[in-house]
Amino acid sequence: MTVPAPGLPARVRIHEVGARDGLQNEKATVPTAVKAEFIHRLAAAGLGTIEATSFVHPKWVPQLADAEQLFPLLGDVEAALPVLVPNERGLDRALALGATRIAVFGSATETFASRNLNRTVAESLAMFEPVVARAKQSADRPAHVRGYLSMCFGDPWEGAVPVHQVVRVAKALLDLGCDELSLGDTIGVATPGHVRALLSELNEAGVGTDRIGVHFHDTYGQALANTLAALQHGVTTVDASAGGLGGCPYAKSATGNLATEDLVWMLDGLGIETGVDLAALTATSVWMAEQLGRPSPSRTVRALSHKE
Protein backbone atom coordinates (compact mmCIF):
# COMPACT_ATOMS: atom_id res chain seq x y z
CA MET A 1 0.00 0.00 0.00
CA THR A 2 1.21 3.49 -0.85
CA VAL A 3 0.72 6.05 1.90
CA PRO A 4 2.61 9.31 1.30
CA ALA A 5 4.05 11.26 4.21
CA PRO A 6 4.35 15.05 4.33
CA GLY A 7 7.62 16.88 3.87
CA LEU A 8 9.32 14.34 1.61
CA PRO A 9 10.69 14.76 -1.93
CA ALA A 10 8.58 13.59 -4.86
CA ARG A 11 11.48 11.74 -6.45
CA VAL A 12 14.77 10.23 -5.25
CA ARG A 13 17.78 9.39 -7.40
CA ILE A 14 19.34 6.12 -6.32
CA HIS A 15 23.09 6.00 -6.80
CA GLU A 16 23.64 2.26 -7.20
CA VAL A 17 27.03 1.12 -5.87
CA GLY A 18 26.66 -2.67 -5.93
CA ALA A 19 28.91 -3.28 -8.92
CA ARG A 20 31.80 -1.33 -7.40
CA ASP A 21 31.48 -0.90 -3.64
CA GLY A 22 29.40 -4.05 -3.35
CA LEU A 23 31.77 -6.37 -5.16
CA GLN A 24 35.14 -4.91 -4.22
CA ASN A 25 35.43 -7.03 -1.05
CA GLU A 26 34.59 -10.35 -2.65
CA LYS A 27 37.50 -12.72 -2.12
CA ALA A 28 36.72 -14.90 -5.11
CA THR A 29 37.22 -13.11 -8.41
CA VAL A 30 33.93 -12.31 -10.11
CA PRO A 31 34.29 -12.83 -13.88
CA THR A 32 34.21 -9.67 -15.97
CA ALA A 33 31.29 -11.02 -17.99
CA VAL A 34 29.26 -11.50 -14.80
CA LYS A 35 29.97 -7.93 -13.71
CA ALA A 36 28.90 -6.63 -17.12
CA GLU A 37 25.70 -8.69 -16.99
CA PHE A 38 25.01 -7.42 -13.47
CA ILE A 39 25.26 -3.80 -14.59
CA HIS A 40 23.07 -4.44 -17.65
CA ARG A 41 20.43 -6.07 -15.44
CA LEU A 42 20.54 -3.19 -12.95
CA ALA A 43 20.00 -0.70 -15.77
CA ALA A 44 17.14 -2.77 -17.18
CA ALA A 45 15.52 -2.65 -13.72
CA GLY A 46 15.42 1.14 -14.01
CA LEU A 47 18.48 2.30 -12.10
CA GLY A 48 19.73 5.45 -13.79
CA THR A 49 23.07 5.80 -12.01
CA ILE A 50 25.26 2.71 -11.60
CA GLU A 51 28.81 3.03 -10.30
CA ALA A 52 30.65 0.66 -12.59
CA THR A 53 34.16 0.10 -11.28
CA SER A 54 37.29 1.70 -9.87
CA PHE A 55 40.52 2.57 -11.61
CA VAL A 56 42.61 1.88 -8.53
CA HIS A 57 45.87 -0.08 -8.65
CA PRO A 58 45.06 -3.82 -8.82
CA LYS A 59 47.33 -4.41 -5.81
CA TRP A 60 44.89 -2.56 -3.55
CA VAL A 61 41.59 -3.86 -4.92
CA PRO A 62 42.25 -7.03 -6.93
CA GLN A 63 38.53 -7.58 -7.57
CA LEU A 64 38.43 -4.45 -9.76
CA ALA A 65 41.62 -5.14 -11.68
CA ASP A 66 39.55 -5.69 -14.83
CA ALA A 67 38.33 -2.07 -15.11
CA GLU A 68 39.86 -1.67 -18.58
CA GLN A 69 38.17 -4.87 -19.76
CA LEU A 70 34.80 -4.16 -18.12
CA PHE A 71 34.11 -0.55 -19.06
CA PRO A 72 34.10 -1.08 -22.86
CA LEU A 73 31.45 -3.80 -22.38
CA LEU A 74 29.03 -1.19 -21.02
CA GLY A 75 28.71 1.09 -24.05
CA ASP A 76 25.07 0.15 -24.59
CA VAL A 77 24.01 0.62 -20.96
CA GLU A 78 21.34 3.33 -20.71
CA ALA A 79 22.48 4.74 -17.37
CA ALA A 80 25.11 7.08 -16.02
CA LEU A 81 28.22 5.04 -15.19
CA PRO A 82 30.46 6.82 -12.68
CA VAL A 83 33.85 5.30 -11.85
CA LEU A 84 36.11 5.79 -8.85
CA VAL A 85 39.58 7.20 -9.47
CA PRO A 86 42.17 7.44 -6.67
CA ASN A 87 44.70 9.72 -8.37
CA GLU A 88 45.81 11.22 -11.69
CA ARG A 89 46.93 7.85 -13.04
CA GLY A 90 43.48 6.44 -12.35
CA LEU A 91 41.93 9.47 -14.02
CA ASP A 92 44.06 8.94 -17.12
CA ARG A 93 42.87 5.34 -17.37
CA ALA A 94 39.22 6.35 -16.94
CA LEU A 95 39.30 9.24 -19.42
CA ALA A 96 41.06 7.06 -22.00
CA LEU A 97 37.99 4.82 -22.00
CA GLY A 98 35.56 7.72 -22.30
CA ALA A 99 34.34 7.96 -18.70
CA THR A 100 32.38 11.17 -18.14
CA ARG A 101 31.50 10.75 -14.46
CA ILE A 102 34.22 10.18 -11.88
CA ALA A 103 34.46 10.04 -8.12
CA VAL A 104 37.24 10.59 -5.59
CA PHE A 105 37.24 9.00 -2.16
CA GLY A 106 38.34 11.05 0.86
CA SER A 107 38.19 10.71 4.63
CA ALA A 108 36.91 12.97 7.39
CA THR A 109 39.41 11.45 9.85
CA GLU A 110 43.19 11.30 9.93
CA THR A 111 43.45 7.65 10.95
CA PHE A 112 41.27 6.35 8.14
CA ALA A 113 43.02 8.64 5.64
CA SER A 114 46.33 7.15 6.75
CA ARG A 115 45.12 3.56 6.57
CA ASN A 116 43.12 3.88 3.37
CA LEU A 117 45.08 6.48 1.39
CA ASN A 118 48.45 6.39 3.16
CA ARG A 119 48.20 10.18 3.50
CA THR A 120 46.95 12.81 5.89
CA VAL A 121 43.60 14.44 5.16
CA ALA A 122 45.39 17.53 3.83
CA GLU A 123 47.70 15.44 1.65
CA SER A 124 44.76 13.49 0.22
CA LEU A 125 42.97 16.74 -0.67
CA ALA A 126 46.15 17.95 -2.38
CA MET A 127 46.24 14.69 -4.35
CA PHE A 128 42.62 15.13 -5.45
CA GLU A 129 43.06 18.77 -6.53
CA PRO A 130 44.65 18.09 -9.94
CA VAL A 131 42.37 15.07 -10.47
CA VAL A 132 39.23 17.17 -10.07
CA ALA A 133 40.67 20.11 -12.03
CA ARG A 134 41.68 17.93 -14.99
CA ALA A 135 38.39 16.07 -15.00
CA LYS A 136 36.47 19.33 -15.11
CA GLN A 137 38.69 20.64 -17.93
CA SER A 138 38.44 17.55 -20.11
CA ALA A 139 38.61 18.66 -23.74
CA ASP A 140 35.74 16.54 -25.02
CA ARG A 141 33.28 17.02 -22.20
CA PRO A 142 33.83 18.20 -18.62
CA ALA A 143 33.31 15.27 -16.27
CA HIS A 144 30.82 15.26 -13.44
CA VAL A 145 32.82 14.78 -10.24
CA ARG A 146 31.49 13.22 -7.05
CA GLY A 147 33.39 13.46 -3.78
CA TYR A 148 32.95 10.57 -1.35
CA LEU A 149 33.61 11.48 2.25
CA SER A 150 34.01 8.48 4.53
CA MET A 151 33.83 8.28 8.35
CA CYS A 152 31.34 11.15 8.59
CA PHE A 153 29.70 9.84 11.75
CA GLY A 154 32.19 7.57 13.46
CA ASP A 155 35.64 6.04 13.03
CA PRO A 156 36.67 2.62 14.46
CA TRP A 157 39.94 4.08 15.71
CA GLU A 158 38.97 7.64 16.64
CA GLY A 159 35.40 7.10 17.81
CA ALA A 160 32.73 9.73 17.28
CA VAL A 161 33.68 12.29 14.65
CA PRO A 162 32.89 15.95 15.50
CA VAL A 163 30.38 17.46 13.10
CA HIS A 164 32.52 20.57 12.55
CA GLN A 165 35.42 18.35 11.44
CA VAL A 166 33.25 16.67 8.81
CA VAL A 167 31.94 20.02 7.59
CA ARG A 168 35.49 21.36 7.20
CA VAL A 169 36.61 18.46 4.99
CA ALA A 170 33.31 18.41 3.10
CA LYS A 171 33.67 22.08 2.18
CA ALA A 172 37.28 21.48 1.13
CA LEU A 173 36.17 18.73 -1.28
CA LEU A 174 33.50 20.97 -2.78
CA ASP A 175 35.97 23.85 -3.01
CA LEU A 176 38.18 21.63 -5.19
CA GLY A 177 35.33 21.60 -7.72
CA CYS A 178 33.32 18.49 -6.86
CA ASP A 179 29.77 18.73 -8.14
CA GLU A 180 28.32 16.43 -5.52
CA LEU A 181 29.21 15.14 -2.08
CA SER A 182 28.34 11.71 -0.70
CA LEU A 183 28.35 11.55 3.10
CA GLY A 184 29.48 8.10 4.18
CA ASP A 185 28.53 6.34 7.42
CA THR A 186 31.32 3.87 6.81
CA ILE A 187 30.89 1.80 9.97
CA GLY A 188 27.13 2.27 10.30
CA VAL A 189 27.04 4.11 13.63
CA ALA A 190 24.88 7.09 12.62
CA THR A 191 21.45 7.73 14.10
CA PRO A 192 18.76 10.09 12.73
CA GLY A 193 19.49 13.00 15.05
CA HIS A 194 23.16 12.90 14.12
CA VAL A 195 22.23 12.86 10.43
CA ARG A 196 20.00 15.92 10.82
CA ALA A 197 22.69 17.74 12.82
CA LEU A 198 25.34 17.19 10.16
CA LEU A 199 23.05 18.20 7.30
CA SER A 200 21.97 21.34 9.17
CA GLU A 201 25.55 22.38 9.89
CA LEU A 202 26.53 21.79 6.28
CA ASN A 203 23.66 24.05 5.19
CA GLU A 204 24.75 26.72 7.68
CA ALA A 205 28.25 26.51 6.19
CA GLY A 206 26.85 27.24 2.73
CA VAL A 207 26.58 23.69 1.37
CA GLY A 208 23.23 23.27 -0.36
CA THR A 209 21.22 20.10 0.25
CA ASP A 210 20.94 19.69 -3.53
CA ARG A 211 24.67 18.89 -3.63
CA ILE A 212 24.50 16.20 -0.95
CA GLY A 213 23.97 12.46 -1.20
CA VAL A 214 23.95 9.99 1.69
CA HIS A 215 25.65 6.60 1.96
CA PHE A 216 24.59 4.53 4.94
CA HIS A 217 25.75 1.14 6.18
CA ASP A 218 23.40 -1.06 8.17
CA THR A 219 25.72 -2.28 10.94
CA TYR A 220 23.22 -1.40 13.69
CA GLY A 221 20.08 -1.59 11.55
CA GLN A 222 19.84 2.20 11.22
CA ALA A 223 20.35 2.70 7.48
CA LEU A 224 16.68 3.18 6.53
CA ALA A 225 15.94 5.35 9.57
CA ASN A 226 18.92 7.53 8.71
CA THR A 227 17.84 7.70 5.08
CA LEU A 228 14.37 8.84 6.08
CA ALA A 229 15.89 11.56 8.27
CA ALA A 230 17.95 12.74 5.29
CA LEU A 231 14.88 12.74 3.02
CA GLN A 232 12.98 14.80 5.58
CA HIS A 233 15.83 17.30 5.40
CA GLY A 234 15.47 17.50 1.62
CA VAL A 235 18.17 15.12 0.39
CA THR A 236 17.19 13.49 -2.91
CA THR A 237 20.26 11.35 -3.70
CA VAL A 238 20.71 8.08 -1.81
CA ASP A 239 23.48 5.52 -2.30
CA ALA A 240 22.49 1.88 -2.09
CA SER A 241 23.80 -1.52 -3.12
CA ALA A 242 21.72 -4.15 -4.88
CA GLY A 243 21.17 -7.09 -2.56
CA GLY A 244 22.96 -5.29 0.28
CA LEU A 245 26.38 -6.25 -1.10
CA GLY A 246 29.52 -4.70 0.29
CA GLY A 247 31.25 -3.24 3.28
CA CYS A 248 34.63 -1.57 3.62
CA PRO A 249 37.95 -3.44 3.34
CA TYR A 250 39.74 -0.94 5.60
CA ALA A 251 37.13 -0.87 8.38
CA LYS A 252 36.61 -4.39 9.68
CA SER A 253 33.53 -3.50 11.71
CA ALA A 254 31.65 -2.32 8.62
CA THR A 255 28.85 -4.55 7.36
CA GLY A 256 26.92 -4.22 4.15
CA ASN A 257 25.59 -1.15 2.46
CA LEU A 258 21.93 -0.24 2.56
CA ALA A 259 20.21 -2.73 0.24
CA THR A 260 18.70 -1.06 -2.80
CA GLU A 261 15.61 -3.28 -2.58
CA ASP A 262 14.99 -2.29 1.04
CA LEU A 263 15.29 1.35 0.05
CA VAL A 264 12.95 0.98 -2.93
CA TRP A 265 10.35 -0.85 -0.80
CA MET A 266 10.30 2.09 1.62
CA LEU A 267 10.22 4.72 -1.12
CA ASP A 268 7.50 2.92 -3.04
CA GLY A 269 5.42 2.77 0.13
CA LEU A 270 5.85 6.51 0.58
CA GLY A 271 4.83 7.23 -3.01
CA ILE A 272 8.30 8.56 -3.86
CA GLU A 273 9.31 7.98 -7.48
CA THR A 274 12.58 6.18 -8.26
CA GLY A 275 11.98 4.73 -11.72
CA VAL A 276 13.04 1.32 -10.38
CA ASP A 277 11.08 -1.89 -11.00
CA LEU A 278 11.37 -3.66 -7.64
CA ALA A 279 10.52 -7.10 -9.04
CA ALA A 280 13.20 -6.83 -11.73
CA LEU A 281 15.73 -5.53 -9.22
CA THR A 282 14.97 -8.36 -6.80
CA ALA A 283 15.40 -10.90 -9.58
CA THR A 284 18.76 -9.32 -10.42
CA SER A 285 19.96 -9.61 -6.84
CA VAL A 286 18.78 -13.22 -6.61
CA TRP A 287 20.74 -13.92 -9.79
CA MET A 288 23.84 -12.17 -8.43
CA ALA A 289 23.58 -14.07 -5.15
CA GLU A 290 23.60 -17.29 -7.17
CA GLN A 291 26.78 -16.15 -8.93
CA LEU A 292 28.39 -15.49 -5.54
CA GLY A 293 27.14 -18.73 -4.04
CA ARG A 294 25.27 -17.30 -1.06
CA PRO A 295 21.88 -15.74 -0.27
CA SER A 296 21.34 -12.00 -0.42
CA PRO A 297 21.36 -10.25 2.97
CA SER A 298 18.57 -7.91 1.81
CA ARG A 299 15.39 -8.49 3.80
CA THR A 300 13.25 -7.40 0.88
CA VAL A 301 15.01 -9.74 -1.54
CA ARG A 302 14.46 -12.62 0.84
CA ALA A 303 10.82 -11.76 1.47
CA LEU A 304 9.91 -11.30 -2.19
CA SER A 305 11.91 -14.24 -3.51
CA HIS A 306 10.35 -16.57 -0.92
CA LYS A 307 6.91 -15.64 -2.23
CA GLU A 308 7.70 -17.08 -5.62
Average pLDDT on 60-86 reads 97
252 has a pLDDT exceeding 80: no
pLDDT band at 117 (very low <50, low <70, confident <90, very high): confident
Q: Which of 22-31, 42-51, 245-254 has the highest mean pLDDT?
A: 42-51
CB 255 within 8 A of CB 269: no
The pLDDT value recorded for residue 77 is 98
Alpha-carbon dihedral angle through residues 171, 173, 179, 185, given to the nearest 10 degrees: -90
Interval 146-169: pLDDT, tens: 999 999 999 999 999 999 999 999
pLDDT, mean of residues 97-111: 97
The pLDDT, as a whole number, for residue 257 is 92
- The pLDDT of residue 247: 54
pLDDT score of 306: 80
Which one-letter DSSP state was computed for residue 209?
G
Query: Is 248 annotated in the active site?
Result: yes
Please check the confidence at residue 83 and state whether its pLDDT lies above 80.
Answer: yes
53 CB contacts (<8 Å, ≥6 apart)?
19, 20, 35, 64, 66, 67, 70, 71, 83, 84
Q: What are phi and psi of 101, to 5 degrees?
A: -135, 120
Q: Pick the catalytic residue from 104, 235, 248, 258.
A: 248
- The CA-CA-CA angle for residues 135, 50, 274, to 5°, reads 120
Give the pLDDT of residue 254.
Answer: 44
CA-based nearest residue to 143, from 182, 175, 92, 95: 95
pLDDT tier at 142, thresholds 50, 70, 90: confident
pLDDT for 120 beyond 70 = yes
SS3 135: helix
Q: Which residues contact 212 (CB under 8 A, 6 or more apart)?
A: 180, 181, 182, 183, 199, 202, 235, 237
Strands (E), the chain: 13-16, 49-50, 53-54, 83-84, 101-107, 144-150, 154-155, 159-160, 180-185, 212-216, 237-240
At residue 2, does pLDDT exceed 70? yes
What per-residue confidence (pLDDT) applies to 138?
73
* pLDDT value of residue 307: 63
Specify whether the CB–CB gap between 11 and 274 falls below 8 A.
yes
* Per-residue pLDDT, 251: 44
Distance CA 306, CA 308 (A): 5
pLDDT band at 139 (very low <50, low <70, confident <90, very high): low
pLDDT at 27: 87
pLDDT at 250 over 80: no
pLDDT the model gives residue 248: 46
Mean pLDDT of 214-218: 96
Provide CB contacts within 8 A for 221, sequence distance 6+: none
C-alpha dihedral (230, 148, 154, 12), degrees to nearest 10: 20
Continuous segment of H or E residues that includes residue 289:
helix 278-292
Least confident range of 91-95, 102-106, 248-252: 248-252
